[in-house]
Amino acid sequence: MIKYNISTLKNGMTLITVPLPHLDSVTTMVAVGAGSRYEAKSINGISHFLEHMFFKGSKKYPTAEIIANLVDGIGAVNNAGTDQEYTFYWIKSAAEKVEFASDILSSMLKEPLFKEEEIEREKGVILEEIRMYQDTPAKNVWDLYINLQFGDQPLGWNVGGTEEIIKTLKRKDFTAYISSLYSPKNMALVYVGKLPKDIDKLAEKYFMDLPSRQFHKSAPYKRVKQDKPKIGVLQKKTDQANIVFGVEGYDRHSEKRYAANLLGTILGGGMSSRLFLQVREKRGLAYSVSAGHHTLIDTGIFAAYAGLKLEKVEEGIAVIKSEMIK
């Protein structure tokens, strides 16, 4: 079992260190409890938009180009991601560059510039990202399914937002949202890899002076009474039919989540799984077919996915349904 240590900095930030001395690299990551389920309808998509804006410059490193050149210049890679419940930012660097990576990440998060012109320019990037996913059936079908399962509440909204809302966001919306969630007490700093002995001191040096802010809890998930199956269909000209079969799963505190995870593996977790064998190997109905269980704070998702031949949709649905019933 991999050894790790969890502690808390004096400002309330969680510090997680995972020493892997056999590596020559370190991944430095900051995760924030800020995702689409924390948003109001009027700012839906701001968590993801904000993820982009932190790379656009800070007081110490004032442009996106400077940040990119610094990261590339040390042979490192960086990225970020946003989900329904969290956003994370990371840099993977050579072990001897972990302090530099900490400096860049901390500067991005504690002193972002959020220039109005950069916000307006980035709106175009966000809109094209939304359109890209809408043109990617295997991704879009999941967004449609999430909305179908959870409905018109934060958990059911698209993480990226809508084009109409993205166009209206202003600098004040970003600063207000940061003030409501980007508190050190709502963050975790993670170091994984070949760590120096003074990694705790390094964390304190670069992350102790993060601004102290408030943070609020997300609105609880509201279960909608359902007496019969719900169906969502999007008609679009494609070369295959992408489908998701799903039910509500277990939250991340439920003891039943372990059984659900195991069931997801048996049903569609690999090349020996039931769906892979029945849908792909024995019938040749799909290339991609899978199943799994995903936990959230107060609910979950258990679902199966397949990209089916257009002329074999009914057969594919029947096979997947049969395996899920089993």
pLDDT at 213: 86
Residues annotated as part of the active site: 51
> For the segment 70-107, what is each residue's pLDDT rounded down to a tens digit?
999 999 999 999 999 999 999 999 999 999 999 999 99
C-alpha gyration radius of the chain? 22
Cα–Cα dist 206/99, whole Å:
9
> For the segment 43-55, what is each residue's pLDDT rounded down to a tens digit?
999 999 999 999 9
Cα–Cα dist 146/142, whole Å:
6
Fold of 240-325: Cytochrome Bc1 Complex; Chain A, domain 1 (3.30.830)
In the predicted model, is pLDDT for residue 214 greater than 90? Answer: no
pLDDT at 226: 85
Q: Span 281-299, mean pLDDT?
A: 97
**Joined tokens for residue 163:** 């084009």
What is the pTM (predicted TM-score) of this model? 0.94
**Joined tokens for residue 215:** 């943070």
Determine how many CB atoms are found less than 10 A away from the CB of residue 263. Answer: 18
Q: Strands (DSSP E) along the chain, which ranges?
A: 5-8, 14-19, 25-32, 77-82, 87-94, 187-193, 240-249, 286-295, 300-309
Query: What CATH architecture does domain 5-207 belong to?
Result: 2-Layer Sandwich (3.30)
Q: For residue 80, what are the β-bridge partners?
A: 89
In the predicted model, is pLDDT for residue 215 greater than 80? Answer: no
In the predicted model, is pLDDT for residue 33 greater than 80? Answer: yes
Structural domain spans, the chain: 5-207, 240-325
**Joined tokens for residue 281:** 């190997």
Question: In residues, how long is the chain?
Answer: 326
**Joined tokens for residue 84:** 């329904």
Q: Span 282-305, mean pLDDT?
A: 97
- Please calculate the CA angle 284-286-290 and round it to the nearest 5 degrees: 120
| Spatial CA neighbour of 218 closest among 252, 253, 181 | 181
Determine how many CB atoms are found less than 10 A away from the CB of residue 276. Answer: 20
Cα–Cα dist 61/72, whole Å:
14
Residue identified by tokens 């932190």 is 54
